[in-house]
Amino acid sequence: MMNIILIEFILYCVIVIGVGYYFGRRSKTQSDFLLGGKKVPGWVLAFSERATGESAWLLLGYTGFVFMTGLSGIWVAAGIASGIIFSWLFLAKRFMRETDKYKVLTLPEYLAVLFGQKANIIRWLTSFLIAGFLMFYVGAQMAGAGKLLLTTFEMPVISGVILATIIIILTSFTGGFISVAWTDMIQSVMMLITLVGLPIVALIYINTNDLSITQSLLTAGDSFDSWFGGLTGFALGVLFFNNFSWFFGFLGGQPQLSSRFMALKNEKEANHGSTVAIIWTFLANGGAFTIGLAAIAMYSQGSFTDVETILPTMILELMPPWIAGILLAGVLAAIITTANSQLLVVTSSVTEDIIHKALGINLTDKQLVLLSRISIILFGIVGMVIALVSESLVYLIVGWAWAGVGCTLSPAILMTFFWKRYSSAGVIATILSGLISTILWISTPLEEMMTSRFTTFFIAAFFGIAFSLLIPDKKPREENNTVKNTI
């Protein structure tokens, strides 16, 4: 059995690297390397955005979370789905138009160009925020790869993390955004096959063996059979907002997702993308939730030392070897696609926003692409080290990064799009307050009371509004902008 799965894993990795190399040959300029040069179809960008947004968090983290909480875990999926639908319907086209108007390649550069009075401070702060938190996100994906390979092949976690790092670096290194987007498309389909196929087989197994999800929920714990965790009043509100709070990170603040919107070519492509992304979301999140519930019927609480290995364990037990290999490759796909996208975002923040723009070092497109590739290797190694020394769960680390980046930058993007009085001082206050509050919150027992994904968003928004009113820009925003760059 293991030999069949191993062969399929190897074939899958070779295909992904080959596809990345083929499409990566199109990356000739820094614009191609960081944003695809507006050459990638909308439906491909949608698959890429969804695969990037979900990752090992959905397949390993969320399924384990549902197993540990029961029906109330649905509110996580509800928050995610709501955020995805909102971003594709109300933000994607705006990102596309703003990118065309201001000729920018990255999210930090977009904010810097619009708020020119404090451009360099905004570049430095935003890039530091993105690079700092997303490196932990990358590390979480690599840790997920170690868990997957440990469960599947009993491979030492260290070996699994190193192997995943090599694949992630290779797919990012070859051609940047274009190769990442097309490999993401393949991996997104693989994820969907796993998240739709496994629940169907698990439900058949449960029915065949006279098991009952309903009965298992009753015996698993006092609150497992309640959609609201058996809580009322204030405690119910805390539960709802803690689980639903993933919504706030989807409102434009995740640069690895927003870059897909920025890369859209026209409104027709954006419409195609939104349709694909929304359908994918309902299928994938519904499947992950069902897997968690099925696991409650199949296994007793306490059966797993690490609940984030539930999905690969179910695949190995329920599927014939050749199908198990395909579905497990879908898990590996989730890990690779998110890690290489985030690695590319960190690289763009350092090479384009800091070295090229903030420091003003003029390099040719060829030199910038080379610098980006070197940065991918270096940051890939940093992510690997984080994965090897971290003992935190994938779900937990991703949640922190989601708060630190997404829930800090989302209010900045929303106010930039929809509030004309938002000022450069307000942007700086938003970023600093979001960064500081997230670090303080996750370092104290406050995180257990109310998640930082919720509090960071509103703290950052409050300070952004307050400082915009207290320190308005001397000139209207449009007068501050001088477009010097070309895509």
pLDDT at position 23 is 64
Q: Where are the beta strands (DSSP E) in 157-247?
A: none
* Residue 480 within a domain: no
* Residue 409 within a domain: no
pLDDT tens across 25-66, in order? 655 555 656 666 677 899 999 998 888 877 667 888 889 889
Concatenated DSSP letters of 366-418: HHHHHHHHHHHHHHHHHHHHHHHH--S-HHHHHHHHIIIIIHHHHHHHHHHHH
Under a CB-based contact definition with an 8 Å cutoff, are residues 16 and 173 in contact?
no
Q: How confident is the model at residue 484 (pLDDT cuts 50, 70, 90)?
A: very low
* Residue 411 within a domain: no
User: Taking the model in full, what pTM does it have?
Assistant: 0.81
pLDDT at position 7 is 83
Where residue 124 falls (left for φ over 0; alpha for ψ -120 to 50; beta otherwise) is alpha
Domain span at residue 129 reads 2-392
User: Who's near 42: CB < 8 A, 6+ residues apart?
Assistant: 264, 265, 268, 269, 270, 271, 272, 273, 276
pLDDT at position 207 is 92
pLDDT at 300 over 70: yes
Count of domains for the chain: 1
* Residue 286 within a domain: yes
pLDDT tens across 230-271, in order? 655 666 666 667 778 888 888 988 888 888 899 898 999 999
User: Who's near 128: CB < 8 A, 6+ residues apart?
Assistant: none
pLDDT tens across 164-197, in order? 788 777 766 665 677 777 777 887 888 888 899 9
Q: Strand, helix or coil at 116? A: helix
* Residue 476 within a domain: no
Say which amino acid occupies 373: R
Instruction: Please report, for the domain that includes residue 352, its CATH number.
Output: 1.20.1730.10
* Residue 414 within a domain: no
* Residue 94 within a domain: yes
Under a CB-based contact definition with an 8 Å cutoff, are residues 265 and 42 in contact?
yes
* Residue 423 within a domain: no
Rounded to an integer, the average pLDDT of 330-342 is 72
pLDDT at position 352 is 75
Residue labelled with tokens 């409650």:
296
Q: How confident is the model at residue 431 (pLDDT cuts 50, 70, 90)?
A: very high
Q: Is 360 exposed, middle or buried (0-12, 13-18, 19+ CB in 10 A)?
A: exposed
The pair of three-digit structure tokens given for residue 62, joined into one six-digit string = 């969320």
Angle at CA of residue 113, ends 260 and 346, nearest 5°: 45
